[in-house]
Chain A
Amino acid sequence: MAATLGQLSRLAWRESRTARRRLLLYMSSISLGVAALVAIDSFASNVTRSIREQSRALLGGDISLNSNAKWTVQQDSIFGALTAKGATLAKQVQFASMATSPGSQATRLAQVRAVGRGFPIYGEITTSPPGQYERIHDAPIAVVDEQLLQVLNVKVGDTLAVGQGRFQIAGTLADVPGDPGLSSIVGPRVYIGDEFLNTTGLLVFGSRAQFEVLVKAPPGIAPAVLLIQYNKKLEEARVRTRTVAENERNLTSAIGQLGDFLGIVGLVALLLGGVGVASGVNAFVARKMDTVAVLRCLGATSPQVLFIYVVQSVAMGLVGSGIGVLIGVVTQFALPQVLGDFLPVNVRVALEPRAILTGLAIGSWVALIFSLRPLLALRTVSPLQALRRDADPTVLRVKLADWPRLTVDVAMIVSVVWLAAARAGSYERGFALAAGIAVALLVLAASAASLSWLARKLLRQGWPYVMRQGVANLYRPANQTRAVVLSLGFGAFLVTTLFLVQANLLKQFDGARAASRANLLLFDVQDDQAPGIDSILAAHQQVALQRTPIVTMRIAGINQWNMTQMLDPANPDSVMRATWALRREYRSSYRAKMLDGEKLVAGQWFGRRAARDGEPQAEVSLDKELAKDLGVKLGDIMTWDVQGLKIKTRVTSFREVNWARFEPNFFAVFSPDAIDKAPKTFVVLASVPDAKTVMQVQRDVVGRFSNVSAIDLTLVQRTVSGIVDKVALAVRFLAVFALAIGIPVLISAVAATRRARLREGVLLKVLGATQAQISRILLAEYALLGVLGALTGMVLSFGGAWAVMTFVFKVEVALAAGPALAIAGLMLAITIGIGLLGGRDVFRETPMAALREA
């Protein structure tokens, strides 16, 4: 008769009595990893579910039709046909313009939205006080973002000037479906009825505006069917279409990608926790050897022993994961407060059982698989140990071909790869991630081994005793060098990688901030308005720093192919060219010189090579990414349709453009002779010293030329800084969070040898060592461990950050050694702190107690 599982479980429960807290501490290494996964997964599915539920409101109709130019006769006839078929249509025109308070004379660039009746078809734009949005068609009134009121120092009921038009502010916007709150920071929104659009006198030649028509399919016709019927006509008329499903897909895939990245961070954190669990359980196993030996004497078989301790670990792993789930859920409920502004949807926060169960399952599995490996050692504990206290040091020695252990190893590797693949979206990336982690662990193990080796080689008898003792601890039997270097290094690796990724992402913006000399940007300046702008600037003792001409155009042909041929799927040439790049409208410029923010990566700048026979004289330089998408090579001939006129150009160079700079940047830059006669508008950059002058210049410009928009770049920069700060805060939170995981992991790592250290310390005390001496021994050991672990982790993190920036964010990486060193220093301090904390127990115990215990 053998013991039932119930009896063994009961024994396991009783036997765990004093160890539960300790085991739970080790298992808490995984709690934060689980918390991250649960929070991220739950929140991501909250968001995607909210998007799905609100998808029609987010788009506003079944189908959205868009164009960058005023609707043409051809396009209008399609809309007529749709209406005739029973579809409901609603229109909107959206453009940037200066909004001015005639009272305070303050101005601010705003997003003006002139909407037709019935816009949006689905969803509801709500206002405070309620019901104002519905009134905008009846009178010249506007509903605006709260923020605009603050900037212009006006209140509801005051008058707002947009171009020549005057509108009474009837209320503020409460909710606009499909618009993230963040979009109002860039430019506050101003809603007016399209009946009053003409009173503004805006939308002149060259003005940038978005024209949108929302379509509701007639009853009985599915939106998809309707779209198929009209797709060809719409395409010919150059109307972009967007369906609810596409919109939903775009929104959710963006959220999904962010979720994936964060999920990978969470997973790596969880694996770091796994390392902590392994070293903690290792310590636990060392403590339990005596009990196991007795159990073996009393007739316990090794499967029974293993069962008892696996049950304990699994139970505590479950509790650790459960705590993680709780933290995760709390975080999930807090996230909309933090991220709400970034999201296009009102997130309905709800418990996500799937995410919770997944988190619990992954956490428990990681706890099990990582504790199983050290627990397997309990199988080999000999009952003889109960008789002989001088434990056989070979007791836990592992055999080379130990099948259960190899099975656990394989299961561990397979589950890490599988988890990574599930998170990263493909087995390929899963393998890459797992391989990255494996390399990091191997490098750390190697550096730990070399530390032990070096300590042995370099130790000199001439050193002070405490130093020798501390250094010798690094290589003596049952040392903790590998455990500590591994956990510490991996923790440092994770934290520093996150930090570097953050620093690099933010640097993109910082670079842009620093590079721009101008702080006032005037755009949509017409050809004949340029002298007027100059005189306004001169009146304020300012000059235009840069006047950039802008010419709008489309591609008409490349080499022998015209547009129709290139868009024909039957044409083999069409495969290599991206449709978006062929079809879009280009706002191009011309100039003789390159800008500071640009880099020539191929070919030669204008005028270096004369045209050969039959080649056009005009030259064009393309952004290298665009050239790739267009499938254009140096020397190709591109034909452009410049407002009806066909212009042939030679492609003579490719540039790398820093799009993040606050400067007008262009996909295509022409040699001046090519297009300087074409109809154009200008962007004028000026550097105006103080805020007051900026406001005055803006006011004067808008007062005289209502179509011209002015952007106070300082304001934009401040806005961008605000957003950047929010992102930075999120990433920094992740880094702190990784650091928080690192602490229980380190404690677990140190725990393995804690008892041996304690006993040794007490013996030294018996032999006359002072507290200071023992502290210094510990200091020497932990300082060396800390320095090595933190530095190796730091070096690894350079690799990690490079990989993330290159493969995930696809931007160049710059490695900041300073902050990385600071993190390494922090990790070092934590290590020494934990080490010395353990040493405190040496002084708390009386030598007798410790000796008797042994």
Chain B
Amino acid sequence: MLVARSLTKEYPSGTSSLAVLKDVSFSVPQGAFLSIVGPSGSGKTTLLGLLAGLDTATRGTIELDGTDLGQLSEDQRAQLRGEKVGFIFQSFQLIPTLTAMENVQVPLELRGDRDAEERARALLERVGLGHRLDHFPTQLSGGEQQRVAIARAFSNRPRILFADEPTGNLDVTTGATIVALLEELNRESGSTVVIVTHDLALAQRAHRMIRLRDGVVVEDVATASAPVTGGAAAGGGVSAPGAQPGAAVTTPLPGTTATAGAPGASA
């Protein structure tokens, strides 16, 4: 369960300050598949950074599984990330000096797991890279790199996974397989997945979509991909049960979006 309450982030700008996020509140139940959309500069990445504990909010609180991130020190937040959080980045962010296998092992080794190697191997096989374990990032294609990144993100069995434009650096076909993979893993593992993107098509494949504009939530809706048994409501706080087998492997149907806000806010 991830809960954000009245999140505000301001950056000093000359003598005054610039608010990038303004009073943002919502909650995400365990296992949900959520997307955050908005144009450049709307505050998406800032919000992601705050939710993942990479940065601290100027005001407001974030609770991850009942832990108030604001109460933790930098290193305690790092430990929490190591235990409960997974990351996927637009530019993959694999460590260039490590092989695919070793990259996946890093989060496990950082927290002292003994079975790092087995698990890394299993995950890479799961993402279809069982034959490329000892390759370095530069020897892999973009799609392969992102699959390694996904394996790495899931290696520590995260309670929640954050993905920042995960398909941004990939072509359409590769992007689609990556999203499918994310969906599958979301279902299999029961991890919450939060995707930040300005790609509306991708956003639609999540079960729920939050739209930001100028640092304010302007829309919070269930998408067409949302499991039929679940309900969606604007205003936040509504849970969307995850781990529904077969709920979202297909391409979303354009035009069936239940939007409450302006449709013009596309990427």
Binding site for B on A (CB under 8 A): 1-4, 7-8, 10-11, 14-19, 290-291, 293-304, 382-384, 386-389
Give Cα distance in the complex from A295 to B81, angstroms: 10
Which of B78, B97, B113 interacts with A15 by CB under 8 Å? B97
Give Cα distance in the complex from A838 to B98, angstroms: 27
Contact A299 B75 (CB under 8 A): no
Shortest distance in angstroms between B54's beta carbon and chain A's nearest beta carbon?
Answer: 4
Shortest distance in angstroms between A272's beta carbon and chain B's nearest beta carbon?
Answer: 30
Shortest distance in angstroms between B26's beta carbon and chain A's nearest beta carbon?
Answer: 20
Give Cα distance in the complex from A392 to B126, angstroms: 36
Contact A3 B54 (CB under 8 A): no
Shortest distance in angstroms between B61's beta carbon and chain A's nearest beta carbon?
Answer: 19
Give Cα distance in the complex from A298 to B154, angstroms: 11
Shortest distance in angstroms between B166's beta carbon and chain A's nearest beta carbon?
Answer: 12
Contact B97 A16 (CB under 8 A): yes
Binding site for A on B (CB under 8 A): 45, 48-49, 52, 54-55, 74-75, 78-83, 85, 87, 89, 91, 93-99, 102, 106-107, 109-113, 152, 156, 164
Contacts A1-B111, A7-B109, A387-B49 supplied; 10 other A-B pairs, CB < 8 Å: A10-B109, A15-B95, A297-B93, A299-B79, A300-B78, A301-B78, A302-B78, A304-B110, A387-B54, A389-B91
Shortest distance in angstroms between B108's beta carbon and chain A's nearest beta carbon?
Answer: 9
The residue on B at minimum CB distance from A298 is B107
Give Cα distance in the complex from A15 to B110, angstroms: 13
Contact B82 A298 (CB under 8 A): yes
Contact A291 B96 (CB under 8 A): yes
Contact B112 A382 (CB under 8 A): no
Q: List the B side residues contacting A304 at CB < 8 Å.
A: 110
Contact A294 B75 (CB under 8 A): no
Also in contact, A14 and B102, with CB within 8 A (given A294-B93, A294-B95, A387-B45): yes
Contact B96 A383 (CB under 8 A): no
> Which 10 pairs show the lowest CB-CB distances between chains A and B?
A299-B82, A301-B75, A17-B97, A1-B112, A383-B54, A299-B81, A3-B112, A298-B107, A7-B109, A384-B54
The residue on B at minimum CB distance from A389 is B91
Which of B45, B49, B80, B112 interacts with A2 by CB under 8 Å? B112
Shortest distance in angstroms between B48's beta carbon and chain A's nearest beta carbon?
Answer: 7
Give Cα distance in the complex from A90 to B199, angstroms: 105
Q: Please list 24 pairs of residues, one from A and one from B, whose beta carbons are closer than 8 Å in the complex, sorted by A's number.
A: A1-B113, A4-B112, A7-B112, A19-B97, A290-B93, A291-B95, A291-B97, A294-B89, A294-B95, A296-B81, A297-B52, A297-B87, A297-B93, A298-B106, A298-B152, A299-B81, A299-B83, A300-B78, A300-B110, A301-B79, A382-B55, A383-B52, A384-B55, A387-B164
Main secondary structure of the interface of A (DSSP, over half): helix
Shortest distance in angstroms between A278's beta carbon and chain B's nearest beta carbon?
Answer: 23
Contact B45 A11 (CB under 8 A): no
The residue on A at minimum CB distance from B94 is A294
Which of B93, B106, B109, B110 interacts with A386 by CB under 8 Å? B93
Give Cα distance in the complex from A344 to B37, angstroms: 86
Q: List the A side residues contacting B79 at CB < 8 Å.
A: 299, 301
Which of B74, B80, B99, B111 interacts with A302 by CB under 8 Å? B74
Q: List the A side residues contacting B49 at CB < 8 Å.
A: 384, 387
Q: List the A side residues contacting B164 at CB < 8 Å.
A: 387
The residue on A at minimum CB distance from B113 is A1
Q: List the A side residues contacting B95 at CB < 8 Å.
A: 15, 291, 294-295
Shortest distance in angstroms between B230's beta carbon and chain A's nearest beta carbon?
Answer: 30
Q: List the A side residues contacting B52 at CB < 8 Å.
A: 297, 383
Give Cα distance in the complex from A382 to B78, angstroms: 10
Give Cα distance in the complex from A299 to B87, angstroms: 10
Shortest distance in angstroms between B70's beta carbon and chain A's nearest beta carbon?
Answer: 16
Q: List the B side residues contacting A290 at CB < 8 Å.
A: 93
Contact A298 B113 (CB under 8 A): no
The residue on A at minimum CB distance from B92 is A294
Q: List the A side residues contacting B97 at CB < 8 Å.
A: 14-19, 291
Contact A14 B112 (CB under 8 A): no
Give Cα distance in the complex from A303 to B109, angstroms: 15
Give Cα distance in the complex from A8 to B112, angstroms: 9
Q: List the B side residues contacting A295 at CB < 8 Å.
A: 95, 106, 110
Contact B112 A303 (CB under 8 A): no
Contact A17 B98 (CB under 8 A): yes
Shortest distance in angstroms between B130's beta carbon and chain A's nearest beta carbon?
Answer: 20
Give Cα distance in the complex from A191 to B95, angstroms: 77
Give Cα distance in the complex from A540 to B97, angstroms: 86
Q: List the A side residues contacting B75 at CB < 8 Å.
A: 301-303
Give Cα distance in the complex from A382 to B45, angstroms: 14
Contact A15 B87 (CB under 8 A): no
Contact B98 A15 (CB under 8 A): yes
Q: List the A side residues contacting B74 at CB < 8 Å.
A: 302
The residue on A at minimum CB distance from B53 is A383
Contact A297 B54 (CB under 8 A): yes
Give Cα distance in the complex from A276 to B96, angstroms: 26
Contact B81 A14 (CB under 8 A): no
Also in contact, A11 and B78, with CB within 8 A (given A4-B112, A298-B87): no
Q: List the A side residues contacting B106 at CB < 8 Å.
A: 11, 295, 298
Give Cα distance in the complex from A300 to B85, angstroms: 12
Which of A299, A303, A384, A388 interacts with B156 by CB under 8 Å? A299
Contact A388 B45 (CB under 8 A): yes
Q: List the B side residues contacting A291 at CB < 8 Å.
A: 95-97
Give Cα distance in the complex from A210 to B231, angstroms: 116
Q: List the B side residues contacting A383 at CB < 8 Å.
A: 52, 54, 78, 81
Shortest distance in angstroms between A438's beta carbon and chain B's nearest beta carbon?
Answer: 34
Q: List the A side residues contacting B94 at CB < 8 Å.
A: 294
The residue on B at minimum CB distance from A290 is B93
The residue on B at minimum CB distance from A291 is B95
Shortest distance in angstroms between A843's beta carbon and chain B's nearest beta carbon?
Answer: 22
Also in contact, A3 and B98, with CB within 8 A (given A297-B87, A298-B87, A298-B106): no
Q: List the A side residues contacting B54 at CB < 8 Å.
A: 296-297, 382-384, 386-387
Which of A4, A298, A387 interacts with B81 by CB under 8 Å? A298
Contact A387 B48 (CB under 8 A): yes
Also in contact, A299 and B96, with CB within 8 A (given A3-B111, A387-B54, A388-B45): no
The residue on B at minimum CB distance from A302 is B75
Q: List the B side residues contacting A389 at CB < 8 Å.
A: 91
Q: List the A side residues contacting B80 at CB < 8 Å.
A: 299
Q: List the A side residues contacting B78 at CB < 8 Å.
A: 296, 299-302, 383
Which of B45, B85, B91, B102 interacts with A299 by CB under 8 Å? B85
The residue on A at minimum CB distance from B105 is A11
Shortest distance in angstroms between A312's beta carbon and chain B's nearest beta carbon?
Answer: 11
Give Cα distance in the complex from A294 to B112, angstroms: 18
Q: List the A side residues contacting B83 at CB < 8 Å.
A: 299
Shortest distance in angstroms between B240's beta carbon and chain A's nearest beta carbon?
Answer: 25
Q: List the B side residues contacting A15 at CB < 8 Å.
A: 95, 97-98
The residue on A at minimum CB distance from B82 is A299
Q: List the A side residues contacting B45 at CB < 8 Å.
A: 387-388
